[in-house]
């Protein structure tokens, strides 16, 4: 697993649980989302009603699971956590829905990866708090209507555009989560350091924040690696120098690029004069699969303005050259 990868495995999720903000006030950044969600939840509480269904869209590691837990906490409701890939049959969904308590929050991660029949069952459940359970097979099959208690669905997806419009339209509130600013990540790091009993100065936090790719999950992960280094190699106190040296050991550079990212850019610049070069050729030069270059390395490089995908192939931008202390050749004329 990549140190700068945005998703978490099971083990990491357990470590992360200790770092989750417990209410909206503790949740850092995402001002607009927080303000809007605060209104939605307050209004529902004042009416003594269950909150509207909420759709959270945004990249992995930005706090969607955390927000769903906060929604439940703010509504003083229990929460059930599942994901689209875990629901392959409509029956799986029916079993979950029919066991919900009144007001419960159902968090459905990767909602765009649910099966079609489950999705259609969800439409009705969201709108009418009802499902039709199909009993039997073939011509003898019958649909038994089942009333559900009112619940709040919190759906999460990497892109709201991946959802079929009928599903998207059934959410009362949609929030788009943005990548975090460095200053916000510094606050995340100070907060986590505090919870983990790590001493860190502001410059140390800034150094980690700058390498965290706008993502709290990565910030927390880098902090844990830096803590290890500080304990073993120094007195445990994290300064800019300690953070920088530690992350250099892990091959995460000043902008949060790792070995793969740098390999792609370096090949582009040093072997192909900055491009344009086709994806397959580039992948062979890096010694990786096409998919790895395209899906693992490129999205962040494109987002950072270091690499451009053009109709003629991949191009290193002037910022990419500058990142390696190089000057792009002057564009040829004629």
Position with the least CB separation from ligand ADP:
63
Is position 29 an interface residue for ligand ADP (rule: CB under 6 A)? yes
Is position 27 an interface residue for ligand ADP (rule: CB under 6 A)? yes
Number of Cβ atoms within 10 Å of the Cβ of 136: 10
Query: Interaction with ligand ADP in 237-296: which residues (CB under 6 A)?
Result: none
Q: Is-contact 254 306, C-beta < 8 A?
A: no
Q: Give the 3-state secondary structure of residue 192.
A: helix
Number of Cβ atoms within 10 Å of the Cβ of 138: 5
Among 61, 155, 210, 214, which residue interacts with ligand ADP (rule: CB under 6 A)? 61
Whether residue 128 is annotated as binding a ligand: the answer is yes
Is position 19 an interface residue for ligand ADP (rule: CB under 6 A)? yes
Q: Which position among 92, 132, 158, 225 bears the catalytic label?
A: 158
For the chain, where are the E strands, in sequence order? 54-57, 79-83, 105-109, 130-135, 142-147, 152-157, 173-176, 307-310, 313-316
Site size for ligand ADP (CB under 6 A): 19
Among 2, 3, 5, 20, which residue interacts with ligand ADP (rule: CB under 6 A)? 20
Among 103, 220, 253, 320, which residue interacts with ligand ADP (rule: CB under 6 A)? 220
Whether residue 22 is annotated as binding a ligand: the answer is no
Is position 63 an interface residue for ligand ADP (rule: CB under 6 A)? yes
Is position 65 an interface residue for ligand ADP (rule: CB under 6 A)? yes
User: How far is it, in rounded angstroms, from Cα 283 to Cα 96?
Assistant: 44
Q: Name the residue nearer to ligand ADP (CB basis): 51 or 71.
A: 71
Crossing angle between the packed helical segments 216-233 and 202-210, to the nearest 10 degrees:
130
Q: Is-contact 96 80, C-beta < 8 A?
A: yes
Is position 60 an interface residue for ligand ADP (rule: CB under 6 A)? yes
The widest CA-to-CA distance across the chain, in whole angstroms, is 76
Task: Give which of 253, 227, 186 is closest to 28, Cα–Cα.
Answer: 186
User: How far is it, in rounded angstroms, from Cα 111 to Cα 82?
Assistant: 9
Among 37, 44, 62, 106, which residue interacts with ligand ADP (rule: CB under 6 A)? 62
Please report how close the Cβ of residue 142 comes to ligand ADP at its closest, in angstroms: 39
Write down the residue that tokens 């290193």 correspond to.
316
Backbone angles phi, psi at 232, to 5 degrees: -80, -40
Whether residue 66 is annotated as binding a ligand: the answer is yes
Whether residue 309 is annotated as binding a ligand: the answer is yes
Distance of CA 150 to the CA centre of its chain: 28
Q: Is-contact 199 243, C-beta < 8 A?
A: no
Whether residue 129 is annotated as binding a ligand: the answer is yes
Is position 155 an interface residue for ligand ADP (rule: CB under 6 A)? no
Q: Name the residue nearer to ligand ADP (CB basis): 134 or 196.
A: 196
Backbone angles phi, psi at 210, to 5 degrees: -65, -20
User: How far is it, in rounded angstroms, from Cα 219 to Cα 241?
Assistant: 17
Does 109 qualify as catalytic in the annotation?
yes
Q: Name the residue nearer to ligand ADP (CB basis): 35 or 289.
A: 35
Q: Name the residue nearer to ligand ADP (CB basis): 118 or 188.
A: 188
Supply the residues annotated as catalytic. Answer: 64-65, 109, 158, 217
Output the known binding site for DNA: 290, 309, 314
Binding residues, as ranges, are 19-20, 61, 64-66, 127-129, 170, 180, 217, 290, 309, 314
The residues that touch ligand ADP, with contacts defined as CB under 6 A, are 16, 19-21, 27-30, 60-66, 188, 216-217, 220
């Amino acid at each position: 697993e990549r140190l700068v990868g945005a998703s978490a495995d099971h083990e990491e999720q357990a470590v992360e649980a200790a770092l989750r903000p417990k209410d909206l006030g503790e949740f850092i950044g995402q001002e607009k989302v927080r303000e809007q969600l605060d209104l939605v939840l307050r209004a529902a509480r004042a009416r003594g009603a269950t909150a509207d269904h909420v759709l959270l869209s945004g990249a992995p590691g930005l706090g969607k699971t955390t927000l769903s837990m906060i929604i439940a906490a703010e509504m003083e409701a229990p929460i059930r956590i599942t994901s689209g890939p875990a629901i392959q049959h409509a029956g799986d969904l029916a079993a979950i829905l029919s066991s919900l308590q009144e007001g419960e929050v159902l968090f459905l991660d990767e909602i765009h990866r649910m099966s079609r029949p489950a999705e259609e069952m969800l439409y009705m459940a969201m709108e009418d708090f009802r499902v039709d359970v199909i009993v039997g097979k073939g011509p003898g099959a019958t649909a038994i209507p089942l009333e559900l208690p009112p619940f709040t669905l919190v759906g999460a997806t990497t892109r709201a555009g991946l959802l079929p419009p009928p599903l998207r339209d059934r959410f009362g509130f949609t929030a788009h989560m943005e990548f975090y600013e460095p200053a916000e990540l510094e606050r995340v790091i100070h907060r986590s350091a505090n919870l983990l009993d790590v001493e860190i100065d502001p410059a140390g936090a800034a150094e980690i924040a700058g390498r965290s790719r706008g993502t709290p999950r990565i910030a927390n992960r880098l902090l844990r690696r830096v803590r290890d280094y500080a304990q073993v190699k120094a007195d445990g106190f994290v300064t800019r120098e300690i953070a920088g040296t530690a992350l250099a050991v892990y091959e995460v550079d000043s902008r949060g690029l790792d070995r793969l990212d740098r390999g792609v850019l370096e090949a582009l610049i040093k072997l192909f004069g900055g491009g344009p070069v086709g994806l397959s050729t580039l992948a062979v030069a890096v010694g990786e699969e096409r998919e790895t270059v395209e899906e693992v390395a490129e999205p962040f490089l494109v987002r950072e303005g270091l690499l451009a995908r053009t109709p003629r192939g991949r191009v290193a931008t002037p910022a990419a050259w500058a990142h390696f202390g190089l000057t792009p050749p002057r564009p040829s004329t004629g």
